[in-house]
Chain A
C-alpha cells in the first residue's frame, strides 16, 4: 500500500509543477462554461413546455463539468505510460515487485487528482459568485453534498478503470491514437459531455445507460443539483460499484494476458 501512496505522491508533485498549464486550463474552462450556458439559455428561452432539467440545474451541471474536467475526460492521458510501452522502458516496470495494473492505476489517479485540484478549485470558487443567471448553485442539503462527493470519487475510479483499458490496448496496437480516439469520442458523447443526458431523447438515454461512461460524469453532477433524488442516487452507487468491479477484473485479466506475451521493444 505504501508504494501506491508513494507513487501517487510523486505523480501528484509532478502534476503540480505545471502551473502555467493549469492557469491556461482554468481560462479555457471558463470560456467554455459561459459559451455552453449561453447556448442553453437561448434554447430554453425559445422552447415550449417544461424541460426535463431546469436551467439552474443545467447551469450547475455545466460548471461541474468544467471544474471536474480532469475527472471525466478520457482524452486526458499519460503519455509517459504510452512511451513506456512503445519504447520498451516497460522493462524497468516489469522488474519491480508489484503488479503493474495497480501501479499504473495509482499513477493515473494521481495525475487526474493533481490536475483537478489545480483547475477545479478556482473555477468552483468563482462560479459560486457569478451573476444569478450564470451562478453555480449550492446543493439542496448537506446529505446531497455527501452523496455527490461519494459518487464523484467512485466515478473517478470507474473512469480510471476504463482508461486503463486504453493503455492495455497499446500493448497490442503499439499506437495509442486509435483506441484513444474511439474511447474519447464515444466516451465523451455517452457521458453527456456534449449533450447533457437528461436532454437526450428517451431511446438514446436507454442506450447511454448500457455503458459505464455516464457514471463518472453525468450521474454525480445530477446528484449534486438534486435532479437525481437520494434513493435513486443510492441505487446508482450500487451500479457504479458493480461496473467498477467488472472493469477492474477485465482490465487485470487483459493486462496479465498482454504481459505474458510482452515483447520489450527496441532491444
Chain B
C-alpha cells in the first residue's frame, strides 16, 4: 500500500489510460494520460511517473506523477484510448471524436484529427442535438465509437468520413464497446443487453444478443479475456459483475455481487488474465484474483493460458476451464481486495499494464501503484 502515490490535480478525472508499451519492452509503463469532466474547461493531460530507483529532492515526492503537457478539450471526456505510442483518441460529451497527438520532442499535445457530430440526435444539420459519445475502442487503424444516440461508427484514422455507420443500432444508450475479434465488436447498452456485431456483414443487425436473466439492469462496461476470447466480463448499474461465455447460451455464466453502486470500468489484466479489476461509483476499486496455487493442480495444467507453449488449441479440453467460468466461484479460491484505503467519492476509471495500476477519482485525485504484484 505504501507504493501508492496520490496526487490532487484540481479536476475531476473521468478517464486514465497507460500509454501502451512497444512490443518487446521489458520496463514498466511510465506515461499515462487523463481526461477530466464536469469542468467549464476540460483538459486532456499527459503525466509521467518517475523511475522507482530515483529518490527525488524530497523523498516523499518520489514517484509522484508529473504533468508533462495538457490541452483543452471541448466537453466532458467520456472515453479515451491510445491508438498507438503517440496518438490518443478521445470521445466527447458533445458527440465529437478527436485524435490528439503527443509530441515527444517538445512535450506538447495537439489535435490531429476530429470527427465532429459523430454522434447526434435527430438531425445532423440542426445546430443543437449533439449526443454524447460514450465509448471508443481502437485497433489501429480502425476506431469504433458508440454513443447516447444508439449509433455505431467505424472510422479509419486519416480518413475524413466514417467508413461505416450503423444508425439506430440500439434503441437505448450504448455505454461501452470493445473488440471481440478484429472484425467483431461487443457493445453493452442501458437495457442490460450484450450484443455482438459483425462488421463484415452489411446488415444493420447484431449477430447475437445476450441479456441478463432478471431485471434489465443497464450495463456500463465490458471487457474481453485477453487469451480466451469467449470469456467476457461486464459491469452493471447495480455493481454486479457478470461473466459471460459467448459460445453458449444467452445469459451470463456467473453473477458476482460486487459493488454497491454503478461499476464504471472492468479490466482483465492484459498479461495476467487471472486478475480482474473493477472500479465503481461507491469509491472502491476491487482486485479479483483467481490464480490458484499451482501445486494444487496437476503440473501439466496451467491457468489462464499464460504458458500455452506446449499445447495447441486442439488439446484444450473441458478440464482446463478458466476459473472465471466455473459455476461455483466459492469452490475455487477467489481473493477479492479493495485497493482504495479511504473511499470517499467515485473511482471513475482505472488502467493496468504490467505491474502498474493507475486510477482517477471524483475527489480530483490520481493514484498510481507501480508494484501491484509485489
- Asked whether A and B interact, the reply is no
Q: Which residues of A contact B (CB under 8 A)?
A: none
Q: Which residues of B contact A (CB under 8 A)?
A: none
